[in-house]
Amino acid sequence: MRGVDYAVRRGLLALVTIFVVLTFNFVLFRTLPGSVVTDMSRIPNATPAFREAIAHEFGLDKSKWDQYVIYLRQLAHGNLGVSYANEQPVASNLRTDIANTVPMVSLGTLVAVVLGTVTGVLAAWRRRTAVDHISTGVALAFYSFPTQWLGLMLVLLFGAYLPTTGMHDPFLVNPTAWQRFMDALRHMILPSATIALTLYGQYTLIVRSAVLETLGEDYVLTARAKGLKPSIVLRRHVLRNAMLPIVTLIALSLGYIVGGAILVETVFTWPGIGLAVYQAVNERDYPMLQGAFLLLTCSVVIFNYLADLIYFKLDPRITK
């Protein structure tokens, strides 16, 4: 029952968090200067009647409270609204964008998790040695590089060998499924590498810190005094108890997968949700922004909720 109570409390907190964030998103986007009417009214010979028609079509002539009530009512029916830019359902746009984003960001995140965890454990296990200094120094360097700068450097270094824009080669004629897959994979290498190199540094540093803290615990010293092999000490006693901060970081990374990587997708013109958000900001497309941020919020909250449940499994002492 203690575990059930813990899961229910965390679940209710997750629902409240989602409601607060979607309300904040609605208010935030409508306090920004300008709107879709402002942008579209710049069309030559735009008349006041034309601007009024645009405002009425998208419901912008109603009060903010009425717009908020309509927004909540539509969400209750699974309707995220209609994009101002292409007048297509936001849900349909987001499905296409997510289908493009998830494989690319997942690949980069997976590489970052594996590489960062391995280098972090090695740096902690071989602390104050050349392995530790090199691993930590390289991680700090990549962690400090701006994402867009790192992406541009990869373009300069490997642009002659790998595709740097888009998701598919437009000159492929009647490709097979395998050819399309390999073409998408080649286009995915540079943006995924940018994400991996950007993220892996923080994994290395956090894993190293967590493992070092665990290595100083009494039960680790006792295990070593018993004459257990170093590999057994590391696997059974160190890694399990160092997993809490690592689980948090992995949960956050997985939660942000559906949010895409705005800078990376913009640099490589990857047609995912990050690029869609960038375009929606420029076009004052409130429904697309609200839908994208709601999706990101739900993803982050759900993965953090799962992380809380894993916490309880890893450390049953956690009850709050």
**Are 239 and 263 a contacting pair, CB within 8 Å?**
no
Q: What is the mean pLDDT of residues 96-117?
A: 88
- Has residue 37 got a pLDDT over 80? no
Q: Which of 308, 226, 288, 318 is nearest to 80 (CA)?
A: 288
pLDDT value of residue 193: 92
Q: What is the mean pLDDT of residues 296-316?
A: 76
- Has residue 252 got a pLDDT over 70? yes
- Range with the poorest average pLDDT among 50-59, 215-224, 253-262: 50-59
Determine the Cα–Cα distance for residues 209 and 242; give it in Å rounded to an integer: 9
Determine the Cα–Cα distance for residues 295 and 82; give it in Å rounded to an integer: 15
- pLDDT, tens digit, for every residue of 122-172? 888 888 889 889 998 999 999 888 888 999 999 999 988 988 888 888 787
pTM over 0.85: no
Please give the mean pLDDT across all residues of the chain.
Answer: 79
CATH number for the domain whose boundaries are 2-32+80-314: 1.10.3720.10
Question: Of the spans 32-46, 153-167, 209-223, which averages the highest pLDDT?
Answer: 153-167
Q: Which of 292, 243, 256, 251 is nearest to 10 (CA)?
A: 251
Q: Which residues contact residue 233 at a Cβ distance below 8 angstroms, ignoring those fewer than 6 apart?
A: 220, 223, 224
Determine the Cα–Cα distance for residues 206 and 119; give it in Å rounded to an integer: 11
- Range with the poorest average pLDDT among 3-12, 134-143, 264-273, 308-317: 308-317
Q: How confident is the model at residue 260 (pLDDT cuts 50, 70, 90)?
A: low
Determine the Cα–Cα distance for residues 266 and 253; give it in Å rounded to an integer: 19
Distance, first Cα to last Cα, the chain: 14
- DSSP per-residue codes, the chain: -HHHHHHHHHHHHHHHHHHHHHHHHHHHHHHSS--HHHHHTTSTT--HHHHHHHHHHTTTTS-HHHHHHHHHHHHHTT---B-TTT-SBHHHHHHHHHHHHHHHHHHHHHHHHHHHHHHHHHHHHTTTSHHHHHHHHHHHHHHHS-HHHHHHHHHHHHTTTS--SSSS-TT--S--HHHHHHHHHHHHHHHHHHHHHHHHHHHHHHHHHHHHHHHTSHHHHHHHHTT--HHHIIIIIIIGGGHHHHHHHHHHHHHTSTT--HHHHHHTT--SHHHHHHHHHHTT-HHHHHHHHHHHHHHHHHHHHHHHHHHHHH-TT---
The Cβ of residue 43 has, within 10 Å, a number of other Cβ atoms equal to: 11
For the chain, give every domain's residue range: 2-32+80-314
pLDDT value of residue 2: 64
- Range with the poorest average pLDDT among 118-127, 187-196, 285-294: 285-294
Determine the Cα–Cα distance for residues 264 and 275; give it in Å rounded to an integer: 9
Torsion of Cα atoms, 265 then 270 then 276 then 277, to 10°: -10
